[in-house]
Structure formats: structure tokens, C-alpha cells
Amino acid sequence: MPEGDSVWRVARRLDARLGGRTVVRSDFRVPRFATADLSGRQVLGTDTHGKHLLTRLSGGLTLHTHLRMDGSWTVLAPDKRLPRRVHPHVRVQLVLDDGQQAFAVKMPLVELLKTSDEHSVVGHLGPDPLRADWDAEEAVRRLASVPDRPVVAALLDQRCIAGLGNLWVNETCFLRGYDPWTPVSLVDLPATVDLAARMLRHSADHPEAAMVTTGSTRRGEQHWVAGRAGRPCLRCGTTVRVVAEVPGDPERRRTWWCPSCQPPRRSG
């Protein structure tokens, strides 16, 4: 699933291409909104909260989309056409007044709502490091609310911090030296939140460093532990380990760690 910084970059691309343009034709290929018509509405901009995209239009309407695993937004210039093989996967098509076309492809979540009702779809989310209203203290408070919870599960909980996914959570735990199952009560939460937020913002703001945590863009060296199961730790040489995700259990996502750099810490 794309992480918050990837979704943020999608929003910036949509802003650059669609912002200020007027929709001349729309086509929703989802049953609930099959008859929706956005023609005549101006695209005001696209905002994000965590992994949610909120494309606001004139008249107080918001197009809410979520990429999840396979969704994407594609914007084509007037002289370009979408490959025929992609057509069956289009969920939304927007034709703009300058001839551009925007397509939501394989988008698992598509809905229209009043802009004033956006809280109904993102109000449950925690603070987002990529938003102007980022509140680190509130993020720490939410993380600390369940002291016995494993830090990896708490950081992945979008209700605590919005936008962190497996990559950033596993890399944060490595860089802080925490075994992923360390209870939250034994974690320096302010320092951990600060590190995770800084990495997410750096990745969002610097395309050349997107999703890189080690400082190296060489293949196989971009991450300390994420995706490196069975390979030597880049810091100490110990074999990086992984536990598989447990389907249907939000507390058990795929987790990578170095047993030497991240020794277990247990309360008591």
C-alpha cells in the first residue's frame, strides 16, 4: 500500500495538472455514483490526510479516493490516449476544459461528498506530519494511550499517526534501536515521532530521496531492514529477519528487524 508521502506526491501532481481547470465531462464507473455529473465544476485543489485523497471542486463538493494497494491517478495530455488494456479498470474519468483527461484506475474507494462533510471520512485519523495542522504532541498522546501495545502496531495505527506505512514504521524502529514488539511504555515516544515525521517529510519534499532511508539510492541499499529478509544488516552484518503478515489482523503486518541492532526490551 502506498505510504503517506507517495499519496502526498500524487496530490501535488493532480494540483499541478488539474488545479484551476473546469470539468467539461465526467464518467463514474462505480454503481453508487454512476449518474453523478461534475461538468461545470472547477477543480480547486487536492488535499491529503494520511493515505486519503480529497479533490475539492467548486460548489462545495469533494471527490474522495483512496489508492490502497492498486489504485492510481493518471492525467493525460490532450493528444494522449489511455491504453486499451487499462479501460476496464477505469473507475473515474474527468475531461478538463484544456483537453486533459484524468483517470482513476483500479481505485478501490471512490465517493462524492459535501466538502463540509469531509470529517466523516477522515475525522478518525490521527495527526499527519505532511499537513499544516501537524500536532506531534497529540500523536504522542494517542500512541501512549495503550502502554502495552507493541510499538510497531501503534505506529501503523492511522488513528495515532496518519500516513505511516510498513516501510517507515520498520525503518523507524531500526533507527531508534527498538525491537518491533517493544511495549509503547518503554519507547521514547517524542523522539520516535520526531524521527518518523522528519523522514516522511524528507521523502515527500525530495523526489530523488523518495522512500530512501539509508541515504543510498543503490539497489538493495535503500532501506536498513524493510524488504531485506535473509540478507545481512547494513550496519552490523547480522541476518535480517521477517515475520509474515497475519491476514485480517491489523496488529500483525509484515515486520522486518535486525536481532542485534534491535534487541528485545520487556517491561518488568
Q: Of 26, 25, 42, which Cα lies nearest the Cα of 34? A: 26
Question: What gap in Å lies between CA 98 and CA 25, rounded to an integer?
Answer: 12
pLDDT level of residue 27 (50, 70, 90 thresholds): very high
CA distances, 19 to each of 50, 59, 132, 195 (Å): 21, 15, 19, 32
Q: One of 131, 176, 252, 254 is an active-site residue; which one?
A: 252
Determine which of 115-119, 168-172, 190-194, 248-252 has the lowest per-residue pLDDT on average: 248-252
> What's the residue count for the chain?
268
Mean pLDDT of 233-241: 96
* 51 carries an active-site annotation: yes
Q: One of 9, 51, 56, 91 is an active-site residue; which one?
A: 51
Per-residue pLDDT for 144 more than 90? yes
Q: One of 2, 127, 129, 180 is an active-site residue; which one?
A: 2
* 171 carries an active-site annotation: no
What CATH architecture applies to the domain 4-123? Alpha-Beta Barrel (3.20)
Determine which of 27-36, 106-115, 121-130, 238-247 has the lowest per-residue pLDDT on average: 238-247
DSSP for 30-59, please give it.
SGGGTT---TT-BEEEEEEETTEEEEEETT
Question: What gap in Å lies between CA 223 and CA 176, rounded to an integer?
Answer: 14
* 252 carries an active-site annotation: yes
pLDDT level of residue 249 (50, 70, 90 thresholds): low
CB 90 within 8 A of CB 104: yes
Instruction: Quote the mean pLDDT of the chain.
Output: 94
What CATH architecture applies to the domain 136-257? Orthogonal Bundle (1.10)
CA distances, 156 to each of 23, 222, 229, 239 (Å): 37, 21, 20, 24
Res 247: pLDDT: 67
Task: Give the tens place of pLDDT for each residue, 217-226.
Answer: 898 899 999 9
Per-residue pLDDT for 1 more than 80? no
* 2 carries an active-site annotation: yes
- Delimit the domains of the chain by residue range: 4-123, 136-257
Query: What share of the chain in percent tops pLDDT 90?
Result: 89
Mean pLDDT of 84-106: 97
